[in-house]
């Protein structure tokens, strides 16, 4: 009984599994949203950072950040870096950056803003639209 073809089949299956195996590691951000109480405390503080997204535009403390998408994210990163969020305690309510979205907002912009807040050491707090 010719057995040479068995090893051929074995190598074919092996090549299939080597090619089909996904070795790409996914990229992303980890966001542990705070409970509602922390977000309320943050709102009560003066000069609290607040990011609003409205119709795919970014507002920081109600001021529009103008420019194309890359410029807006860079400016937002600069503003968040100035808050020194990474140096705060992990449980400090001042680390929570409220994020509110209104109108038409794409997930692309939403993720980029969340990633900016996380990279600056802040914690994302979603404000529900009333």
Partner 1 sequence: MRQQRKKKRRVPITVPLASMGDIAFLLIIFFMVCSNFTKDNVPIDLPSSHDLEKLAEPPISVMIDAEGQIYFQGAKVPDAQAVEWGVAALLEKRNAGKTDVTPRDRAIKLKCDKAVDKSIFEPVIEAIANGGGVVEAEGLELQ
**Residues 79-98 interacting with partner 1 (rule: CB under 8 A):** none
Q: Which of 43, 63, 92, 108 is the binder for partner 1 (CB under 8 A)?
A: 108
Q: How far apart are CA 123 and CA 12, in angstroms?
A: 49
**Residues 8-27 interacting with partner 1 (rule: CB under 8 A):** 10-11, 13-14, 17-18, 20-22, 25-27
Residue 115 binds to partner 1 (criterion: CB under 8 A)? yes
The helix (run of H) or strand (run of E) holding residue 63 is strand 63-65
The token pair that represents 73 in the structure block:
């994210």
Q: Residue 81: CA atoms inside 13 Å, Cβ hemisphere, count? A: 6
Beta bridge partners of 98: 125
Residue 67 binds to partner 1 (criterion: CB under 8 A)? no
Nearer to partner 1 among residue 30 and residue 91 (C-beta): 30
The helix (run of H) or strand (run of E) holding residue 20 is helix 4-20
Residue 42 binds to partner 1 (criterion: CB under 8 A)? no
CB of 46 to partner 1, least distance (A): 27
């Amino acid at each position: 009984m010719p057995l040479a073809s068995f090893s051929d089949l074995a190598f074919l299956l092996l090549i299939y599994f080597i090619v089909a195996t996904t070795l790409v590691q996914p990229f992303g951000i980890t966001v542990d949203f705070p409970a509602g109480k922390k977000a309320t405390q943050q709102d009560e503080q003066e000069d609290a950072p607040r990011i609003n997204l409205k119709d795919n535009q970014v507002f920081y403390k109600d001021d529009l950040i103008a420019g194309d998408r890359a410029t807006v994210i860079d400016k937002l990163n600069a503003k968040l870096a100035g808050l020194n969020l990474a140096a705060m305690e992990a449980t400090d309510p001042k680390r929570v950056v409220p994020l509110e979205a209104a109108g038409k907002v794409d997930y692309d912009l939403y993720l980029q803003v969340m990633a900016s807040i996380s990279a600056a050491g802040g914690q994302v707090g979603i404000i529900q639209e009333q």
